[in-house]
Amino acid sequence: MKAAIRHMMRNRRRTILTLLAVLIPIYFLIVMFGFINSMVQDMFESSTRFDTGHMQIRAEETRATGSALPLMNDPADALAALDSIEGIEWSTVRLDLPALASVGDRTRTVFVRGVVPEEIDPISNMADRIVEGEFLTSTSPGVLVGEELAELLDLGLGDDMVLLGAHPEAGLGAIRAPIVGIFSAPEATIGRTFVYASLDTARQLARNDTAATAIVIRVDGVVGPQDAALMERKAEALRAVLPPGFEVQDWLELLPVMDGYMQILTPMLLIMAIVFFGLGALVVVNTLYLSVMERTREIGLIIALGASRLRVMGMVLAEAGIITVAGAFYGALVGVGIILIVEAFGGIPLWGQMAAYMREIGIPPVLHISITAPQVLLSAGAMAIVAMLAAWMPAWRASKLEPMEAMRYVE
Amino acid sequence: MSSSPLIRTLDLEKTYVTETIETPALRGVSVELHTGEFTAVAGPSGSGKSTLLHLLGGLDRPTSGEIYLEDQPMSGLSKDQLSRLRLTSIGFVFQAYNLIPVLTVLENTAFVLELQGVVRGERMKRAKKILGELGIEQYADQYPHRISGGEQQRVAVARAVVSEPSIVLADEPTANLDTATSLDLIDLMRRLNAEKGATFFFATHDTRLLDRVNRLITLVDGRIAEDQTQTATS
């Protein structure tokens, strides 16, 4: 070990190069992990908070309802079942209805989302998104529209909108509702198509006093997609207690786009890891191979004196091991350090087209980086293993040297 | 010598084969070496001196013939067994590049003991003792490149004898030394032979050293031309 350290000190430049070959891939991977984690988490949080929750109880679809969700005539039994499940952070009843919105001679197809305004906060930041007017109350007969719809229908605060319910399982209700607020939607599509109303108002439109289309649920302790197992456990528990006629949809069913992203990101990360690790391994092989070549006579002498092949391999691997451990440690330190510094400054703000795109898909235009301890350990551990495997070849070559040939070796 | 030989070779032949050329280095060498001898093998360049030493030391294998070390044939030994044999029974002094550059003189001397698994305290004690006996203890903490060639060879001798092997094989140990230093080194080896009973077998083509050995084997063209016992002079 002492000899290995002295060899490393004697060839500082090569040692530093090998160290960097281990350190840089780990650092890159940790930072990449950090960016991707954060992006996925932002998307997850944005989608689950604004729209879907972590899971939903819905009515089983017994006949085709087109783009409309099947109607629950009375969610009371499902709510009672939900009460028996522990670890539910929050839930609320929602009624989504396809409808025609008519103002003057203009008519558009919209979705009326009936919510309990006092309960919506934990899942949606709608109240903060009001740019004109005010948020709903349970007793408010008015509705909220997005900036885009307001522009399309030339609507202003206080204007009346006629809504005609068009749910295939509900009665054909019609209401006239004043615009009490205009909101800024996280996505333009939402702004064009969603009309927010109190649950009572929406039920009037469905001509059904107890109707709902979903019970939206948030699970305690869920931070991101990495908690999929926890969400699935809760979904399973809920399925077991729900009365017939109801079903549970988990986050993957509710967020198919997210699932798609996840399916792309995992192999993408894997490919990046393979490229980074591969390049690192090449440098490790190269530098250790050079080291063995330069020390051919010395290794020959050591074998001649009676060192076993295993011992010789151990010497080369010890050198690789020291560099690998140091590289993994410092790589992780630098990677995590960068993340902490970036986050201490509140992330990296985006600008221009990228910022606009992020807003469009519902993600704040700030690039955050977050990493978990297992991901740091995985990055550092995997690179360390790759580096040690790469060191195996030069070590094996060293152990196979014939002592007299090696001692005659001239560089 | 009436006792059982330490090393015995029987019709030892070694031919180096390249793609197109076969070069015989040893042609039927049979010799016996006994414990406590101080023997030189001399001869012109290419006579097979180094080849014989390498075969005796298990660093190479003969093309035919057999070597017995303490009555045990070496031909059937695997590479690892030969390594073990070198480690436990044979001390080596090479012509050049004898010392590990990143280890101090003391660590170099103790290196074989470390390979043998001797605990640190014990091996350092023994290494210091032998350095003291050879008069080079003042270099204990120096690295090899800080001391002269003659001193380096002394350290190599110290390392060769520190584990008290059955025999020390030295391949032209004075080849890179001036006359005075060469004589000093040979005298040092003689002293170890006399005082500690260490058996030495060394190759040399330096005729100035030949009157200092008890036995002189002369090789010519891979054959023993002469094997004579003599009274060493100082």
User: What digits encode the pLDDT tens for the residues A14-29?
Assistant: 788 888 888 888 888 8
Contact assignment for A305 to B111 by CB distance below 8 Å: yes
Taking an 8 Å cut-off on Cβ atoms, the answer to whether A305 and B98 are in contact is no
Has residue A357 got a pLDDT over 90?
Answer: no
Nearest CA in chain A to B96: A407
pLDDT score of A362 more than 60: no
How far apart CA A257 and CA A267 sit, in angstroms, is 16
Q: To probe the interface with A, which of B97, B107, B142 has the most A CB atoms within 10 Å?
A: B97
Q: Tell me, what's the pLDDT at A361?
A: 58
Given CB atoms, is A10 within the 8 Å cutoff of chain B? yes
Residue A271: band (very low, low, confident or very high) from pLDDT cuts 50, 70, 90: confident
Give the residue-averaged pLDDT of B80-106: 89
Residue A96 has pLDDT above 70, yes or no: yes
Higher pLDDT, B144 or A261: B144
Q: In the structure encoding, which two tokens stand for residue A253, read together? A: 């069913």
For chain A, say whether B107 makes contact (Cβ under 8 Å).
yes
Whether residue A298 lies within 8 A of chain B, CB to CB, comes out as yes
Q: What are phi and psi of B170, to 5 degrees?
A: -125, 120
pLDDT at A331 over 70: yes
Instruction: State the nearest Cα–Cα gap between A373 and chain B, in angstroms.
Output: 39
Q: What is the pLDDT of residue A410?
A: 55
Residue B82 neighbours by CB distance under 10 Å: 19
A283/A13 Cα distance (integer angstroms): 13
Contact call for residues A63 and A371 (beta carbons, < 8 A): no
Nearest Cα residue to B116 out of B91, B150, B148: B91
Q: Give me the pLDDT at residue A238, please.
A: 93
Phi, psi dihedrals of residue A182, rounded to the nearest 5°: -120, 130
Mean per-residue pLDDT, B166-191: 87
A203-246 confidence digits (pLDDT tens): 999 888 899 999 999 999 888 887 888 999 999 999 999 999 89
Mean pLDDT over A146-173 rounds to 88
Model confidence at B1: pLDDT above 60: no
Check: CB of residue A284 under 8 Å from CB of residue A391: yes
Distance from CA of A229 to the nearest CA of B (A): 52
Contact at CB, A3 and B100, closer than 8 angstroms: yes
| pLDDT above 80: residue A125 | no
Whether residues B84 and A308 touch (CB distance < 8 A) is answered with yes
Spatial separation of the C-alpha atoms in residues B91 and B164, rounded to whole Å: 8
Could you give the C-alpha distances from B154 to B144, B151, B188, in angstroms and in order? 11, 5, 8
Residue the block writes with tokens 């609507």: A155
Which chain A residues are within 8 Å of B100, Cβ to Cβ? Answer: 3, 298, 301-302
Average pLDDT, chain B: 89
Mark yes or no for CB contact A311/B115 under 8 Å.
yes
* Mean pLDDT score, B161-171: 91
Length of chain A as a residue count: 411
Handedness of CA A401, A405, A407, A409 (dihedral sign): negative
Alpha-carbon distance B231 to B219, whole Å? Answer: 20
Chain-chain contact of B100 with A302 (C-beta, under 8 angstroms): yes
Chain B CB contacts of A301 below 8 Å: 94, 97-98, 100
Three-state DSSP state, B195: helix
